[in-house]
């Protein structure tokens, strides 16, 4: 078990999925990130120095019926999970 804050966990999952996407797609940026409302709020809190609902130029949208996914450059969905 970890003592890590749920807020930081959301940011970590998104960043680690970015790394997996870059590795799988020759450093291309994904099209979109989808997060449930609570997680998007938490993410924006951690990423407060960046633009709301965006990370590194990739838009983030509210998706209440998901646990969090990244839409890859080829249109496939990548779940937002920890690990590389």
CATH architecture of 6-79: 2-Layer Sandwich (3.30)
Write the CB contacts of 43 (distance below 8 Å, at least 6 apart in sequence): 7, 10, 11, 14, 35, 55, 60
pLDDT the model gives residue 1: 44
Q: Where are the domains of the chain?
A: 6-79
**Distance separating alpha carbons of residues 17 and 68, to the nearest angstrom:** 10
Instruction: List pLDDT tens digits, range 10-68.
Output: 999 999 999 999 999 999 999 999 999 999 999 999 888 889 999 999 999 999 999 99
């Amino acid at each position: 078990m970890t003592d890590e804050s749920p807020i930081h966990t959301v940011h970590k999952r998104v960043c680690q999925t970015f790394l997996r996407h870059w590795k799988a797609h020759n450093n291309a940026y994904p099209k979109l990130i989808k997060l449930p409302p609570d997680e998007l709020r938490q993410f924006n809190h951690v990423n407060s120095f960046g633009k709301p609902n965006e990370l590194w130029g990739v838009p983030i949208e509210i998706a209440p019926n998901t646990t969090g996914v990244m839409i890859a450059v080829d249109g496939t969905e990548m779940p937002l999970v920890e690990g590389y």
